[in-house]
Amino acid sequence: MSEKNMTVAVAEALDQEMDRDPDVFVAGEDVRVGGPFGTDAGLHQKYGDKRVVNTAISELALTGIGVGAAAVGLRPVIEIMIMDFVCVAMDQIVNQMAKMKYMLGGQPTLPIVLTTHAGIDSSSAAQHSGTLEAWFCHVPGLKVVMPSNAYDAKGLLIASIRDDNPVIFISNKRCLQTSTEVPDVPYEVPLGVADVKREGDDVTIVATGRMVIDALEAAEQLAAEGVSAEVIDPRTLSPLDTDTIIRSVQKTNRAVVAQEAVQFCGLGAEIAATISDQAFDFLDAPVKRVGAPFTPVPFAPVLEDIYLPDTKAILAAVREVIPA
């Protein structure tokens, strides 16, 4: 075990999987120089041009390379540097990657991982700050992963590469430099299994991506006020581990769901609806949601700070569901 940030953990996962399996390769824009966020650092020097493939600036073509390679038995990891740019590749993702196995009667496997970087970071403005995970959770045939820390990122990426189905692997940009203890050896964090990051008795906070860090900060402040908050990180958004969430709500009787994405029609709405469907009789208050306002992400730092959901927003939601 050693202290690593998420950037290093992701690069290490890619290195170890490429070393283990010669069918694994990485393709994307600028991956030979380490990628835009450093998550491909050192791979080109070790594995060369054929397994670390620089592509043209065409996300549609890049994703098509991955789909074709996976269909003939390779295990591509396709990097789309900024999540907003998946818009250019949606035909390949939604109509090919997600549906091919179903349309061919389950005969082929399609072991492809599409990695991308989401979220608000340093005034990147409206076309470089998207958090669009709900789009992909709505598409049958895709698995969707969103780690909140370096330990989960490495284990989930290794599990994603070894999975025989298409996986969308989303890193939040503000999580990339956060550090935790990470094993040096390869390991898997199973897909579809949520993690209880902090146990509590008074309220359940279900948070995704960077909001997990904010939720844990909120739980610390709530503890000082005598409120015990349980924090759940789904880690895999599809398939969603609803059993862990429901068990927690049955214990705490209150729930807050936090996401960085726009609140309207987001994953938080699905989680809130699931809680209401399956644990309504246990609820002592309505489920509260925390998310971004229904507007593109602003460029100005002062507006970006107002736009971004944070610890204060989670605290406000918790105080609404817990009587004074």
* Active site (catalytic) residues: 59, 128
Question: What residue type is assigned to position 215 of the chain?
Answer: A
Query: Cα torsion at 71, 73, 75, 76 (round to 10°)?
Result: -50
275: which residues sit within 8 A by CB, 6+ positions away?
245, 246, 249, 255, 257, 283, 287
> Is the separation of the CB atoms in 206 and 256 below 8 Å?
yes
65-76 burial code (b ≥16 CB/10 A, e <16): bbbebbbeebbb
Tokens 């791979």 — which residue?
43
- Stated as kind and residue range, the H or E segment containing 44 is helix 43-47
In DSSP terms, 144 is beta-bridged to: 168, 238
* CA distance linking residue 139 with residue 309, whole number of Å: 26
Tokens of 10: 């992701």
